[in-house]
Structure 1
Amino acid sequence: MTHGSVRPGHGPVRLGVVLPQAEIRPSDPRAVRRFVEHVEELGFDHLIAYDHVLGADSQSRPGWTGHYDHRTPFLEPLTLFAYLGATSSLELVTGVLVLPQRQTALVAKQAATVDLLLDGRLRLGVGIGWNEVEYEGLGVSFRSRAARLEEQIGLLRQLWTQPVVDHRGRFDIIDRAGVEPLPVQRPIPIWIGCGDAPTALERVGRVADGWMPHPALGGGSRLAAAWTAVRAAAERAGRDPATLGLQGQVRLTPGSLNDVTPRIDRWIELGATHVALNTLEAGLTWPADHHDLYTRIAQTWQAR
């Protein structure tokens, strides 16, 4: 793939942005909408929103190592997408929804509604999360979250494609019931976000429509080895690895403008179908600095 083929909304990879949730202070919904409208005008085609329901009070927990706490603002992504969908034509992506801490049938209903309102532009990235405080607050077992995720993925697909579902599993019971209206996409794409634990990579290859690697994997040999493992797991499950999507992510800072394109190219060489640029925690002032950085990046691409 040629170096010059990479620009927002075109070429061999779909380029998007990560909503910089932690920077949204104050939580002005109009500023969020303007940010989304701005990046769409620049030519990006998808928006990723992170998810946390509860933030733990880190000040009362000595030794707390969680990345976010009770002071970090997070907009609930499916509610946010219903709001943004009225004015945006972007693909809207959860990256990731902590699925096991939620009621499966309710997520099926919410996602189906949002996908209908978006005319089929929802991509559901899901994961098991890391915050035990959050699970406790939502009344769900933290220890069984991986097993619950697997059952939920299959059940969601049934609820999105069948008028009546009869399911009796380890975690959920649906007694001859269904979701109406069904989504536009039947089923809605489900991508799994995770690191490179072997069981997690095997799960991606076996049941997911795509993979969202944890940013801690970087963009080098560790990531490449994990992607190889995902594709091998897909083959073992009788699936075509070529049908799996790969979501890349490139973190940005005001001084990183010159190396954005090479970092996107590395994702393309790996086989990424999507790459999102991320200004989260880059030391930028919301919203002006984020607007300015994305504008400069777009101008740089257009000038090539």
Structure 2
Amino acid sequence: MIPAAPAAALASGAPVKAASADEEGIGIRLVDIPAATQNDPRARSYIVDNLPPGTTINRRVEVHNHTSEAQDVRVYPGAARIHNGAFVAAADAAENELTTWTSVDQSTLHLAADESAMVTVTVTVPTDAPEGEQYAAVWAEVRSAPDPQTNIVTASRVGVRMYISVGPGNGPAADFSVSTLKASRNGDGEPEVRAEIRNTGGRAIDVSGALSLSDGPSGLAAGPFPTERVLTLAPGTSGEVLITLGSELPSGPWQAALHLKSGLVEHDATAELTFPAKGRSVTVEPDHGIPAWMLLAGGGVVAVLLALLIVVLLRRSNRSTPVRRHAD
């Protein structure tokens, strides 16, 4: 078997190019988006769906040759998993349950320079499939000729992620929580904030966002500062998002406002932060504001109290109104 040195990247919206050293390479993007998930940013980039057992779906991906030469492109599904806060692809065409359910109508493409082609991806969920979420990727891969000295082949590939949940209805809801905020400084002395995130829902999440600072020394404000990377978490797992701030930023105190989202799920957390000296950290529990259900409940209580007040006033009014009798 000829060993391969893979160079992999997963698409996140616009086509992701296989070549990292220049602007040329192979790109891939999702074309078909279900009408029910048109507003979900994740569904516009990845194959995301909840499917009952026995269901079949088709999704098209476009593969584009951005190079100046003709390319033979291999298209195939490959296994993936979520590990240490990242969507991790297995080597080559490794299999899991989802890949055995997935097929492509064209496994080999010959693309001229700047040419593209559509590939239909079919997912057929068996009638006895277990409930739960499965992960994989649809890959477009090009390989070099064997090196004459080492006989090694270099493979470069780009892919579209697949998040397929099996179960009835719309499947379990996605959600997450922000448990703590930690202010510290990195090895270069730059202030940074780490937020502990827990996936409290039933689907995988891809969390990103930004941190804004206000009410700092002399009334200063700063940001927004984006998260360093997208944090991917399986249900029931936790991880951190990292935000690195400018080295010239005063230590504080600051009012920090963190806004995070995964698809249509969004959460905010606020806290007062002061960045400590290098090598130390300060952990605080953020203020999440008043939950929406409490606002609704509070509104309901106010409405009930107003109704009771009106009843009391009407009764008092009726009691105080004199009754006039007419003489016969």
TM over 0.5: no
TM-score by length of 2: 0.21
Greater strand fraction, Structure 1 or Structure 2: 2
Greater helix fraction, Structure 1 or Structure 2: 1
Higher relative contact order (CA 8 A, sep 6+): 1
Question: Looking at CA atoms only, which structure, 1 or 2, has the larger radius of gyration?
Answer: 2
TM-score by length of 1: 0.22
